[in-house]
Amino acid sequence: MKDKVVIITGGSSGIGKALAFEFGRQGSKLLITGRRSEFLLLTELELKAKGITVHSFTGDVSVEKDNAEMIQTALQVYGRIDVLVNNAGISMRALFEELDLEVFKKVMEVNFYGTVFATKYALPHILKTKGSIVGISSVNGRRATPARSAYSASKYAMEGFLESLRTEVMSRGVHVLSVCPGFTSSNIRNSALTAHGDVQGESPRNESKMMKAEEAAEYIYQAIIDQKRDLVLTVQGKMAVWMNKVFPGWMDTLTYKAMRNEPDSPLRDLPN
């Protein structure tokens, strides 16, 4: 990946930030994006302090125009695009019956349409370089969980989009990778939306027991090098995907009980 140009959406925190450092250590040239310029600038300065070539772009992946400008910025700065990592995402936690549909739309717009928009504008240039398109999906894209209906739907949609795209471009030298992290330590649960669009604030899970974002980034980087089709991370994540294929009914019950036992779970007042 030395001297390859890599775009990472949502590159100022979590897995996106860890990927920026991983690609940077390997000599890649980076464009990191995000909605909050202050966090982007801090990450850009941290990367540059390590001698990494990086440029930041402030934009919202859910806005089509911002994605077009993001791609043009990468071309103006570096002249080419080799890898697009669709990492930007948000989560939510609420019963569907209580969920404002505007919250559902927002999650879909960021997680799904953000991936579609960025990929649409990057694809012509990645076809030229025979590069890679990566989607940071989730185990929730293979096994949905209750009280996360919008998040699960957005990740299932991303999975379908990437699978269709992969079969369109695989004969033209473009690699498409779908990454499904299990529980990974990041700020996605802290910034998850509630039923009415407020920020959750506190993670309902023990973040210290999760896979670190830096470890996930190492696996993802290697999967790109190895041109893998899929990557499911964490033992728990791999087991969930496998058991959902073999024992789907049992997994419904198991998943319900596990999510009901989360602190302050929206399911806590429902029957056992």
List Cα–Cα distances, 22 to 28, 184, 225, in angstroms: 9, 16, 12
Task: Determine whether 212 is exposed, middle or buried from the number of CB atoms within 10 Å of its CB (0-12, 13-18, 19+).
Answer: middle
In angstroms, what CA-CA distances link 129 with 84, 177, 209, 224? 12, 16, 39, 15
Residue located via tokens 């073999």: 246
Closest Cα to residue 19, out of 214, 179, 189?
Answer: 214
151 is catalytic: yes
Residue with tokens 């699978």: 163
- What does the DSSP 8-state code read for residue 193? B
Are 69 and 122 spatial neighbours (Cβ–Cβ below 8 Å)?
A: no
Catalytic residue among 78, 113, 121, 151: 151
Residue with tokens 């949609």: 157
Structure tokens belonging to residue 156: 């299932």
Largest Cα–Cα separation, the chain = 58
3-state SS, residue 130: coil
Q: Which residues are catalytic?
A: 151
